[in-house]
Structure 1
Amino acid sequence: MARWIPSKKIEPSNFDENVKPGKSAKEKMLRGSAWMTLGSIFSRILGALYIIPWYGWFGADKLQANALYTKGYTVYSMFLMIAISGIPSAVAKQVSHYNAQNEYAIGLRLFKRSLLLMIIIGITSMVVMWFGAPLISQGDTNLVPVYRSLSIALIIIPVMSLTRGFFQGYQDMFPSAMSQLLEQIVRIIYMLAATFFIMRVVKGSYVTGVVHSTFAAFVGSLGGLLILILYYFRKKEHMDQLVLQSANKLKISDRYIIKEVLYESIPFIIIGVSTTIYNVIDQFSFQAVMQHFSELSVRQINDWFALFAGNANKLIMITISLASAMSITVIPLLSEAYTKKDRKQIATQINDALELFLIVMLPCSLGMAAVAKPLYVIFYTYDYTGIFILSFASYIALPIGLFMVLSSLLQGVYRNKIAIKYFAIGLIVKAIIQVPLIALLQGFGPLLATGIGMMVSNVLMLRFFYLHFEMDFQRIIRRFDGLLFFSLLMFVAAFAVVQLGDIFFNQYSRVQSLIVLILAVMVGGYVYLYLCLKTRIADKILGKRVESLRRFLRIK
């Protein structure tokens, strides 16, 4: 019986209705980064905004609750990355690889076989974390129920992440962005409702409040998975048509598919847990070092830990999520260019990715440092030390974000061992300088050790790209110089507004701090936009689409 072949060839770029056929790789990267950035930034902003009521409802135990919450999530993140096993990113990479060869049937089969594998891995990880909770609690009995409440989410999230990776393999970032956003909304609704009821209505223990706050991860994952399932069935007919027109020249067994995915996932899991490993080192070393080198009590040490690992980290993750969104977008595109052996296109995409990182991350990191005072007051109330830690952490967000992008670029061109090697070198540097920096700088020490370790890895990776790919490094340096100068001017403008705001507004008031923050962001943001548009550097990086913004702002 003859198989039906569609009379009109289905273009894979039409998989996302927002992408027109014939789009260049740069335009796909910009659109994909836009979707992932929007989803990620809104998700992170929501994830930071909830802290305002949540933090206050714990009253005198707010720092203790945040420390407990942060410790739980740090270990959970490690288990989560192991449960996911890098498979979603590997699937995105391999689906893009096979799609570039018109082997859509293999890509779909790879997804379905990986789905069963993720269910098994998720359940296994959940069981290990549940029963291993007492062993990893460092003797803190309050952490055991927190770990167990988080372990339940390991059943759902691996499946959700895999499905996101499958759509990313088609260079369709919309479902991933929407899933991420819905997951966060559902999580926060449950989290706030449960915390309010426990802490304000029944006057319960702060530990119980934290346990339900962490259980919200499971509730949110159900919402995120639901939208992916709906989108999958919406696109099923289109995917079936692509499968029917597949070349079917490659004969690959299911066993080979699973073996290939697992092999590709190893570097993704190692790189994926990189920032989490840095955080784990902080969690398991900070208290011991502080107890040895200071006279502070355990409660005071936990307060310090909450300031840098909880409060500051939650806010800088908003900017770091931008880099994460870019790195997710670039892997499938690089994999496609690598499959086609298009070295010129590979070099172009590497340059484009780095320039996109610079134009976004430089002003975001320096801008957050400039407005650290009103930003911190809005989320956590006034704390002199906390404000300085947030400002310092904002600078550390730059090397962390750059590491995410560079390691993803290496994985996109199948230089996985190199990415792992340079990550390991940076981690060793972090481990060596961790203790002396904590002893000297207390809560600032772990942040500085992280920044130095990440920067060592970044320098090594940039050197590798320069030596092995035809990068226009001079162009990157010119862009960096210009964008750094513009970002510094923006910093000065925003910081000046904050300093003037202290004269006319009450710096301890959340409402008045919000006014100062809005004014500072508006002034600093306009300065940066004006300089980027006036000098046309934005056109060179983002393309002609910025012309409409230039007309709107009346910049010639």
Structure 2
Amino acid sequence: MKNKSKQEELLKGSAWMTAGSIGSRLLGAVYTIPWVTWMGIHSNEANSLFAQGYNIYNLFLIVATAGIPAAVSRLVAQYNGENNCSMSRHLYRSGLYVALLMGIMSSFVMVSGASLMDNGDKDVIPVINSLAFAVLIMPTISVTRGYFQGYGLMAPSAISQFTEQFFRVAYMLGITFFIMEVIHGNWKNAVTQSTFAAFIGALSGLVVLIIALIKYRKILSINNAKSDKLGSTRKLMLKVVCQSIPFIIIESGITTYQLIDQYTFFSIMKLFRNISRYKLNVYYALFSFNANKLYMIIISIAMSIAATVIPILAMLKSKNDKRGIKTQIKNTQLLFLFIMVPTALGLYSVAQQIYTVFYKYDSLGIMVLEFSAFIALPLGMYTVNAAIMQGLSESKVMLKYLFIGILLKLIFQLPSIYFFQVFGPLLATGFSMIVVNLLILRYFYFNYDFKVL
């Protein structure tokens, strides 16, 4: 009965997180249809500029936020498992202090260091600056989502995620239409305003979470903690930071791979071929933006499963329930395979139709999307497996595996791009991620008797 309830909890939580994640990802993909149309002949250049700015933004977002909700979620679930809910509430307040500090620091570095991250393209600087506003408040949003997830309340996180994306897309489309179709302005200004939309979306997501805190106040009882029985705020803040650091590095795995592509693809291609910057931007846009927007919808499913499994495993780990952990690993892997494999095959089978609808017909772009559909599987599996490792407090082992993967990515990046050009970065990513996943599955086998077959 206990295992059944945990399985139901996983399915219910994953359903909420999947709905919110896929809904927001779909919005994040569908907007490209009118957006690309309004950009006209500059669409691939605009996509390349957008992707370069967002890759840097995602890294700072992960540094400022990704470790915090996962760490808070894990610690809250752990304390609740120990019947120490007062500490969970105090942890949340301490996490807000950390979030505020991380937001300010990350936003400052983005603004002051934009010129050092432009990769030789000055047009990237205003895009990075516009995204710094969102980084300022996203940590607060993330720590609140982590707090809800620690209690198993996935709905507030899912709804705020969808709301955030909805208002981001609404502002983006509205301002792009005004600049490109009404005043016939510069496409670069339209891209900058489109990235600033992340701040508009973040504000709306924050409002939803504040409403949720009020709605669930009886469950959370935020104002009922007894301060005389709680630990030092400074110690709790230090614990949140220490717990967050491994999460930051591990959850930045996919973004790190994308940044390796961003800062190596152009130089490696120029090294072996005489090719213009415009053509390079077009090639880069094909795999880093056009295909990425679509196959990330698949990976978002894995992200939703990952967000659900961390607090469940953390609670089982605190009770040293090895049998329950083994069952949970099995359920998570089966859920991943049941959802992800058919979805990836579906994307591959309709790649031509989908790509044409979103971007217009392009034979090379369609082949890149078809290839990306299969690369999404090891990327999604990494997301789920990394979450399992973190839920089991095995961050050090996971960090070792990730570093092995990054090393393999760097080793194979040059020959992959030399022989396969635009497919090269995806090939190097897929191969290294497969190795990382095999290492993790091997760890599950030796430590929790988990068998793949």
1:190-339 counterparts in 2 under 5 A? Answer: 190-240=171-221, 252-339=231-318
Instruction: String of CA shifts for 1:307-364, please: whole Å, max 9, x gaps.
Output: 0001000100000000010011000000000111111101100000000000000001
Aligned residue for 1:203, secondary structure, equals coil
Q: Give the structure 2 partner of residue 106 of structure 1.
A: 87
Displacement of 1:23: 7.0
CA contact under 8 A between 2:131 and 2:198: conserved in structure 1? yes
| Distance in 2 of aligned mates of 1:61 and 1:404 | 34
Structure 2 gaps of 5+ residues are none
Instruction: String of CA shifts for 1:436-464, please: whole Å, max 9, x gaps.
Output: 11011111000000001111100000000
Larger radius of gyration: 1
Instruction: String of CA shifts for 1:18-59, please: whole Å, max 9, x gaps.
Output: xxx997111000000000001111111111000000011011
**Distance change >3 Å, CA 147–CA 289, structure 1 → 2:** same
Aligned residue for 2:216, secondary structure, equals helix
Displacement of 1:239: 2.1
Aligned residue for 1:252, secondary structure, equals coil
User: Residue 407 of structure 1 is aligned with which of 386, 409, 418?
Assistant: 386
Q: Give the structure 2 partner of residue 419 of structure 1.
A: 398
Displacement of 1:250: 7.5
State the AA in 2 paired with 1:57.
Answer: W
State the AA in 2 paired with 1:41.
Answer: I
1:511-530 counterparts in 2 under 5 A? Answer: none
Q: Give the structure 1 partner of residue 11 of structure 2.
A: 30
| Distance in 1 of aligned mates of 2:214 and 2:103 | 23
State the AA in 1 paired with 2:171.
Answer: Y
Displacement of 1:92: 0.4
| Distance in 2 of aligned mates of 1:86 and 1:386 | 34
Q: Give the structure 1 partner of residue 23 of structure 2.
A: 42
| Distance in 1 of aligned mates of 2:430 and 2:222 | 48
1:347-496 counterparts in 2 under 5 A? Answer: 347-471=326-450, 473=451, 476-477=452-453
Structure with larger RCO (C-alpha < 8 A, sep 6+): 2
1:71 aligns with 2:52: yes
Aligned residue for 2:221, secondary structure, equals helix
Q: Give the structure 2 partner of residue 502 of structure 1.
A: none
Instruction: String of CA shifts for 1:240-294, please: whole Å, max 9, x gaps.
Output: 29967x9x99853222211211111111100111100000000000000111111
1:97 aligns with 2:88: no
Structure 1 gaps of 5+ residues are 1-20, 478-556
| Distance in 2 of aligned mates of 1:468 and 1:243 | 40
CA contact under 8 A between 1:179 and 1:224: conserved in structure 2? yes
**Distance change >3 Å, CA 22–CA 306, structure 1 → 2:** closer
Q: Give the structure 2 partner of residue 525 of structure 1.
A: none
User: Residue 343 of structure 1 is aligned with which of 322, 332, 340?
Assistant: 322
State the AA in 2 paired with 1:459.
Answer: L
Aligned residue for 1:318, secondary structure, equals helix
Percent of aligned positions that are identical: 44
Displacement of 1:238: 2.8
TM-score w.r.t. the length of structure 1 is 0.79
| Distance in 1 of aligned mates of 2:403 and 2:261 | 16
Instruction: String of CA shifts for 1:357-390, please: whole Å, max 9, x gaps.
Output: 0000000111101110001011011000000000
| Distance in 2 of aligned mates of 1:264 and 1:181 | 27
CA contact under 8 A between 1:103 and 1:250: conserved in structure 2? no
TM-score w.r.t. the length of structure 2 is 0.97
| Distance in 2 of aligned mates of 1:232 and 1:23 | 29
CA contact under 8 A between 1:83 and 1:158: conserved in structure 2? yes
Q: Give the structure 2 partner of residue 81 of structure 1.
A: 62
**Distance change >3 Å, CA 85–CA 51, structure 1 → 2:** closer
CA contact under 8 A between 1:85 and 1:266: conserved in structure 2? no
CA contact under 8 A between 1:82 and 1:269: conserved in structure 2? yes
How many residues in Structure 1 have an aligned counterpart in Structure 2?
452
| Distance in 2 of aligned mates of 1:160 and 1:346 | 30
| Distance in 2 of aligned mates of 1:250 and 1:411 | 28
For the aligned residue pairs, the C-alpha RMSD in angstroms reads: 1.7
| Distance in 2 of aligned mates of 1:341 and 1:243 | 30
| Distance in 2 of aligned mates of 1:249 and 1:119 | 25
Displacement of 1:296: 1.7
CA contact under 8 A between 1:42 and 1:181: conserved in structure 2? yes
User: Residue 170 of structure 2 is aligned with which of 189, 198, 201?
Assistant: 189
